[in-house]
Amino acid sequence: MGRPKTLKKPKTELVFDNKKREEFLKGFSKRKQQRKKKAQEEIDRKLKEEQKRIKSETKNLKDKFKQSFKPIAELEKVLKDSDEDDDESGDEVDRFETDDVTVTISAINPDDLAKKNFIGYRKVKESDSEESEEEDPETNETSIPGMEVSGKPVRKVKDKKDKDFEKLTEKLKSAKDVKKLIKEQAKTAMKKSKIIKMQNEKNHKRNVKLSQRKKFLKEKKLRKHKKIPKHKTK
């Protein structure tokens, strides 16, 4: 008996588009350049956003400084009115003259006497309990009898940013100092920025490569004219 016949499986043939195949095999450098271009565009976009952010931060800081050094209009008005009242009042003097006697009546401020001769209005010292009651009227009003909470009132803790800002304002004496401080703040923000660091590193690498390329071409040119010997290979 002969061998049993086996059923032949249909063969699958792969047909390539020669044009696309050639384009794929020759397009490695092209695709690499496209990726580089896309990455550079992304870095440029992030860099612009970072610069805008730093610019807005410096502007806000400048406005904050202006607001902190800006005189309060209401307070100035009150002080001006009080100065005018003091000038108008002064020491009021009334004179009464008769044939034999001249009487002069003058109004004296007791506070002035208190400063000079320790004479003035009688002031009663208040106890500590009364002072604490006056200091915390809100707690007394809102507290329920028999359910009072003992202990010191909770103080508002200032934010770290506010404390830092107060420290900065203490050192400032003129507009020149303010400008200098704003520039320093912008520089520190730029140094801390990751995207700016990345861009600087990239520029540094590119400059190093360019300098190496220039050096190589210069040596090649001199070697061609036999002015410098070739490097010996071991």
Which phi and psi angles does 158 have, rounded to 5°? Answer: -75, 145
How confident is residue 212, by pLDDT bands cut at 50, 70 and 90?
A: very high
| Number of CB atoms found within 10 A of residue 181's CB | 17
Of 42, 32, 29, residue with least CA distance to 198 = 42
CA atoms within 13 A on the CB side of 12: 1
Domain assignments of the chain as residue spans, ordered by start: 19-84, 173-229
Summarised one tens digit per residue, pLDDT across range 54-108 is 888 888 877 777 776 666 565 566 566 666 655 555 555 556 566 666 666 666 6
How confident is residue 35, by pLDDT bands cut at 50, 70 and 90?
A: very high
* More confident site: 12 or 104: 12
Summarised one tens digit per residue, pLDDT across range 114-133 is 555 555 555 555 555 554 54
Of 193, 190, 196, 179, residue with least CA distance to 61 = 179
Query: What DSSP string describes the chain?
Result: -PPPPPPPPPPP-----HHHHHHHHH-HHHHHHHHHHHHHHHHHHHHHHHHHHHHHHHHHHHHHHHHHHSPPHHHHHHHHHHHHHHHHHS--EEEEE-SS-EEEEE---HHHHHHHHS-----PPPPHHHHHHHH-HHHHHHPPTT-PPPSPPPPPPPPHHHHHHHHHHHH--SHHHHHHHHHHHHHHHHHH-HHHHHHHHHHHHHHHHHHHHHHHHHHHHHHHTTSSPPPPP-
Q: The pTM is what? A: 0.42
